[in-house]
Amino acid sequence: MKPRPWIIHIAALLVAAGVPFLARWARRSGGGRCALDGVRIDPVYRVQVRAENADRSFCCIWCGETWLARTAAADQRRRKPEVTVTGEDTGEPLDADHALYVRSLVVTTPTTNNRIHAFSSRAAALRHAESAGGELLTGASRPFH
């Protein structure tokens, strides 16, 4: 039995119309993609931002800071978002205000050329700085400041 031509046309139309919606849903549903540039997130460099009761995940510190700068410029009335970074030394999330940051020669995400790393302990941060030609970031040079 041959399929009827109109059935094939309807099926093709449904597939063509559904693909963009499925792709958008996959990007928004925390499918391991960066909320800024869509890059797959390596868990050791994950940044989480909770702003206006919505969680967003980013592939690196650069993307998290860029998104925050754009949204802050758009709406000055928002309260300070909660930012969590992943400590490269532990693999555990930690409050961005308590993390230690190192800018080094090691690139975390090639698409953004991010070179800022987060650590939970001073010893780990200093080890990375020494071994990777980096410097510990302090004061206003710290991310999410």
| Amino acid of residue 74 | A
* Digitized pLDDT (tens) for each residue of the chain, 145 residues in all: 665 776 766 765 665 555 454 444 444 444 499 999 999 999 999 999 998 778 999 999 999 999 999 887 666 566 788 999 999 999 999 999 999 999 999 999 999 999 999 999 999 999 999 999 999 999 999 999 8
Over its C-alpha atoms, the chain yields an Rg (Å, rounded) of 20
Contact 62, 144 (CB under 8 A): no
Which DSSP letter does residue 121 get?
A: S
Alpha-carbon 67 to chain mean position: 9
